[in-house]
Structure 1
């Protein structure tokens, strides 16, 4: 039986809140796992700043990566930073 409080189905609301809480806990666990992988990669000599950049780039489609690189090169050239 659903309990209505002020027009709100309390059982349904409680179900949503509990699901969100479980997912948040899973997210915290995954964040800890990711931190451990970064620590491991750093321990073997890899640069985590570069790994994070690579991960960001891999999430982009090819056209967006190409556009970003072109704009970066253009800005660097405008600032006299190109070799």
Structure 2
């Protein structure tokens, strides 16, 4: 009896994951469309992606990354 219950529960988990994966794909398509729209308006999508990534970071993590990048630039004469 417990094997039947476990199989039903497993099936439900798998179905939920499949639904969420479909939603995730839809959202990814929407994000791609927004980047395409911005690009058609003259914005650089690669730079926009970097900005989105930076805005996700906590302020102190972003500041540490900026300081390290600046240190490396100075060391290589790129400042």
Check whether TM > 0.5.
yes
**Number of the residue aligned with 1:76:** 73
Conservation of the 8 A alpha-carbon contact between 1:3 and 1:11:
no
Aligned equivalent of 2:3 = 4
Aligned length, in residue pairs: 79
Provide structure 1 residue ranges, at least 5 long, that are not aligned to the other structure.
none
> Paired residue for 1:59?
56
Alpha-carbon distance, 1:4 to partner:
1.2
Correspondence for 2:24: 27
Structure 1 vs Structure 2 CA RMSD: 1.5
Deviations 1:19-58 (A, max 9, x none): 0000000011111101100000000000011100100110
Unaligned runs of 5+ in 2: none
Larger Rg: 1
Greater strand share, 1 or 2? 1
**Runs of at least 4 residues off by over 6 Å:** none
TM-score (structure 1 length as normaliser): 0.89
State how far apart, in whole Å, the 2-side matches of 1:26 and 1:42 are.
Answer: 24
CA-CA distance at 1:3 after TM superposition: 6.0
Q: Which among 2, 11, 16 is matched to residue 14 of structure 1?
A: 11
